[in-house]
Amino acid sequence: MIVTTTQTVENRSIDEYLGLVAGQSIWEEKMAKEIITGIATAPTEAVPGYKDHMTQARLAAIAEMKTKAEKMGADAIVAIAFDHLVMHDDMLMLFASGTAVKLADPPLSM
């Protein structure tokens, strides 16, 4: 499954737009507090584990999107965007969305 933040897939044309897919990752308690502190603190290196936690959150959201896109018969997810929401002082939600697409075969010649 190709996953990209761009509107297109290089050297491939989009045959069909299948629809929106979204994924989320919710972090509570200690890990969320570390992430929230990292978001509010500059530089982010000041908070141990911040980058690792955010990477884990992004990967979990992407994995959920991929599962949904595969069920739709998609070859790729394009135009992925990420956002986060701090809920209370101890919960963080990372949200990802994109468009599931079917790619045309074969790849475009270069």
CB 14 within 8 A of CB 8: yes
Looking at residue 62, its pLDDT comes to 97
- Count the alpha carbons within 13 Å of 7 in the hemisphere toward its beta carbon: 0
List domains and CATH numbers for the chain: 2-103 (3.30.110.70)
* Three-state DSSP state, 91: strand
Neighbours of 107 (CB within 10 A): 12
- Count the alpha carbons within 13 Å of 59 in the hemisphere toward its beta carbon: 6
Question: Residue 25: pLDDT above 60?
Answer: yes
Average pLDDT on 51-64 reads 88
Question: Residue 6: pLDDT above 60?
Answer: yes
Considering only CA atoms, give the Rg of the chain.
17
Looking at residue 27, its pLDDT comes to 76
